[in-house]
Amino acid sequence: MEEGASFLFAGTSFNKKKYANEIARFKGKKENENKVDYLSSFELANPDSEEAAVSTKKRKRKQSASEAVEGFNVFKSSKKALVASEGNEIDEEKDRISKEKKKLNRKLEADSILRKKYNIHVSGNNVVTPLKSFAELSSVYGCESYLLQNFAKLGFKEPTPIQRQAIPILLSGRECFACAPTGSGKTLAFVSPMLMKLKHASAEGVRAVILCPTRELAAQTTRECKKLAEGNKFYIKLLTKKLIRSADLSKLRCDILISTPLRLRSAIKKKKLDLSRVEYLVLDESDKLFELGLIKQIDAIVKACSNPSIIRSLFSATLPDSVEELARTIMHDAVRVIIGRKNTASNSVNQKLVFAGTEEGKLLALRQSFQEKLNPPVLIFVQSKERAKELYEELKFDDIRVSVIHSDLSEIQRENVVNDFRAGKTWVLIATDVIARGMDFKGVNCVINYDFPDSAAAYIHRIGRSGRAGRTGEAITFYTEDDVPFLRNIANVMSASGCEVPSWIMAMRKLRWKKHRPKRESILTIPDNAED
Ligand SMILES: Nc1ncnc2c1ncn2[C@@H]1O[C@H](COP(=O)(O)OP(=O)(O)OP(=O)(O)O)[C@@H](O)[C@H]1O
């Protein structure tokens, strides 16, 4: 991580002359903010501050009193009377300060009750009050009506806990890293403040960037973003291969750009896409983006977004300490928001472990469970694209509408598979971890981990495709002898979200989790050349 940290944040520079206006605006804002923060925290932290404030005022008043003596006041004020009136003023001042203090304490108390109610945990200086309702977006933050109408159209009545806290934080100009369960509405939590702050379309180039680890998620986020922006003519673009090939990106009319890191990095390199005016940068599924394979691209993008007043935010359902540490080094005065407990699975998913003994045992168990009850849509996760293809070969002749998605399919094929599954044309989708993160398929009833997940985070994201937006779901994880040493890590996640775990598993030794991807026997029971 150390290495990553120094790499990621080395050498970001910007043209101070070119951005003199922005710098001046930024400086002014920060200074003012600091004044408010300093004052309120000083008053709270230092019991002598009241005295200090009073004595400064006293000095000022003394001065003005003696000036007055030289005028007509000389006829009415004796020294005694002057002292008495001064005493009154001091009392009044003390009274005022104590009232202010009480008011502030009441506000802090109310905030903390609200946070407790919604299981919101925050750390950072002077964290802004959570939202009580969506209506506050317009009464407190001047939100335009189109956004609230879109919430209503989409059936969103109340903000989810992450939306209650993250939206006001971002609206108040603070950076934030947020960890909230799968399916809890993080997309709306970062898109809404972006739309509110950008206000209207502009021809000034890219003003906001959302990075997602996969193309499927980037496409989904673009769609969600457009739905939320309906009624306001923003230019919202998904960076596709076609767009990179066909357009002159330097002239691209775009307010919000959504991309995978790889694609954005190559666009910056090839087409000189200018990101220096970007005001908002969101790293969705941030822990995935900070993994070794992507960190170089993230670093290049962070550097290209060189606007000094940029607001960065990180969102994920899993936020390892190492990512937090790394994030702290790029963010200034960031607020950390955790909903519930960090790195836990959604508690609306009923989780089960099933011992299948061998690879053959898994296929039998799967077929048997489909015979007993097939409650589509069902998602099945395997550990590699080869295994995804094998399982598909096994199931395609069974009487179920099954499909498969993996990285060997073309972009269009992948898109079609996802669309068919969304539309209910296919009931069972076999997948690799490529769609384990962020994908929001409505109403997935069951996730089956055919192959044991390679980490606790992978487990949390996979099963989080079910039990979303208040619905319940089910997750079944098959394990073989090979997986037994890794059971405890999954069992911890299960018991933290209230699921029953056999006591013998909880009594096992905790293993320091390494990626668990054992070599497994082929799934195929049909010889390879059976169709020839
Ligand atoms: N306030 C709300 N009320 C009801 N439903 C909501 C609300 N906000 C978002 N949703 C819906 O909740 C579902 C999940 O939202 P989203 O995909 O943003 O979850 P997420 O927290 O990003 O999950 P993941 O960690 O898996 O990426 C979506 O279908 C979305 O439309």
**Helix crossing, 295-304 with 2-9: angle to 10°?**
30
Whether pLDDT at 377 is above 70: yes
Assess contact for 362 and 450: CB atoms under 8 A.
Answer: yes
183 ligand 1 Cβ < 6 A = yes
Tell which one of 147, 156, 338 to mutate to probe ligand 1, the residue whose CB is within 8 A of the most ligand atoms.
156
Strands 335-339 and 120-123: antiparallel
Per-residue pLDDT, 322: 87
- Kindly state the average pLDDT of the residues 43-55: 37
* Atom of ligand 1 lying closest to residue 180 CA: 21
Q: Which two tokens stand for residue 126?
A: 């002077």
**Helix crossing, 161-171 with 186-198: angle to 10°?**
30
Per-residue pLDDT, 343: 86
* Atom of ligand 1 lying closest to residue 182 CA: 25
Per-residue pLDDT, 82: 67
Distance CA 70, CA 90 (A): 23
Best mean pLDDT range from 42-46, 334-338, 482-486: 334-338
Per-residue pLDDT, 528: 58
Cis peptide before 518 (omega within 30 of 0): no
220 ligand 1 Cβ < 6 A = no
Residue 156, Cβ density class (10 Å: 0-12 exposed, 13-18 middle, ≥19 buried): middle
More confident residue, 515 or 68: 515
- Taking CA atoms, 363 is separated from 353, 367, 380, 393, 447, in Å, by 15, 6, 12, 12, 15
d(CA 156, ligand 1 centre) in Å: 10
Distance CA 244, CA 249 (A): 7
Nearest CA to ligand 1 atom 22: 186
467 ligand 1 Cβ < 6 A = no
Distance CA 148, CA 139 (A): 12
Whether pLDDT at 48 is above 50: no
Distance CA 335, CA 338 (A): 10
Q: How confident is the model at residue 54 (pLDDT cuts 50, 70, 90)?
A: very low
pLDDT tens readout for residues 436-454: 999 999 889 999 999 999 9
The closest of 392, 473, 384, 468 to 428, measured between CA atoms, is 392
Per-residue pLDDT, 1: 36
473 ligand 1 Cβ < 6 A = no
Whether pLDDT at 420 is above 50: yes
Whether pLDDT at 216 is above 80: yes
Assess contact for 133 and 159: CB atoms under 8 A.
Answer: yes
Nearest CA to ligand 1 atom 25: 182
Assess contact for 437 and 467: CB atoms under 8 A.
Answer: no
- Taking CA atoms, 441 is separated from 225, 385, 445, 465, in Å, by 16, 21, 10, 7
213 ligand 1 Cβ < 6 A = no
Residue type, 256: I
The closest of 419, 460, 458 to 441, measured between CA atoms, is 419
228 ligand 1 Cβ < 6 A = no
H/E run at residue 49: helix 49-69
Nearest CA to ligand 1 atom 1: 159
Q: How confident is the model at residue 416 (pLDDT cuts 50, 70, 90)?
A: very high
- DSSP conformation letters of 436-498: TSS---TT--EEEESSPPSSHHHHHHHHTTSS-TT--EEEEEEEEGGGGGGHHHHHHHHHHTT
Distance CA 500, CA 494 (A): 7
Per-residue pLDDT, 352: 94
Whether pLDDT at 202 is above 70: yes
453 ligand 1 Cβ < 6 A = no
Whether pLDDT at 132 is above 90: yes
Q: How confident is the model at residue 79 (pLDDT cuts 50, 70, 90)?
A: low
185 ligand 1 Cβ < 6 A = yes
In sequence order, the β-bridge partners of residue 335 are 176
161 ligand 1 Cβ < 6 A = no
* Atom of ligand 1 lying closest to residue 440 CA: 17
How many CB atoms are closer than 10 A to CB 126? Answer: 14
Nearest CA to ligand 1 atom 14: 183
Per-residue pLDDT, 70: 34
Nearest CA to ligand 1 atom 9: 185
Report which DSSP code applies to 130.
P
Per-residue pLDDT, 148: 97
- Kindly state the average pLDDT of the residues 411-436: 93
* Atom of ligand 1 lying closest to residue 442 CA: 29
d(CA 10, ligand 1 centre) in Å: 35
Report which DSSP code applies to 305.
-
97 ligand 1 Cβ < 6 A = no
* Atom of ligand 1 lying closest to residue 461 CA: 26
More confident residue, 121 or 530: 121
Q: How confident is the model at residue 380 (pLDDT cuts 50, 70, 90)?
A: very high
Q: Is the ipTM of this complex over 0.95?
A: yes
Whether pLDDT at 272 is above 90: no
d(CA 255, ligand 1 centre) in Å: 23
* Atom of ligand 1 lying closest to residue 438 CA: 27
d(CA 60, ligand 1 centre) in Å: 56
Nearest CA to ligand 1 atom 13: 469
SS (H, E, C) 254-291: CCEEEECHHHHHHHHHHHCCCCCCCCEEEEECHHHHCC
H/E run at residue 390: helix 385-395
Per-residue pLDDT, 521: 80
- Taking CA atoms, 476 is separated from 287, 378, 467, in Å, by 25, 11, 13
160 ligand 1 Cβ < 6 A = yes
Assess contact for 222 and 258: CB atoms under 8 A.
Answer: yes
Assess contact for 219 and 384: CB atoms under 8 A.
Answer: no
Cα-trace Rg, the chain: 29
Assess contact for 489 and 516: CB atoms under 8 A.
Answer: no
d(CA 182, ligand 1 centre) in Å: 8
pLDDT tens readout for residues 318-358: 999 888 888 888 888 999 999 999 888 988 999 999 999 88
Report if pTM > 0.90: no
In sequence order, the β-bridge partners of residue 123 are 336
Q: How confident is the model at residue 8 (pLDDT cuts 50, 70, 90)?
A: very low
Tell which one of 158, 160, 225, 337 to mutate to probe ligand 1, the residue whose CB is within 8 A of the most ligand atoms.
160
The closest of 471, 454, 470 to 511, measured between CA atoms, is 454
Average pLDDT, the chain: 84
Per-residue pLDDT, 66: 38
- Kindly state the average pLDDT of the residues 9-27: 45
Q: Three-class SS of residue 380? A: strand
- Provide CB contacts within 8 A for 507, sequence distance 6+: none
Whether pLDDT at 41 is above 60: no
Best mean pLDDT range from 83-92, 127-136, 484-493: 127-136
Quote the distance between the C-alpha of residue 30 and its chain's center.
25
317 ligand 1 Cβ < 6 A = yes
pLDDT tens readout for residues 294-314: 888 999 999 999 999 999 999
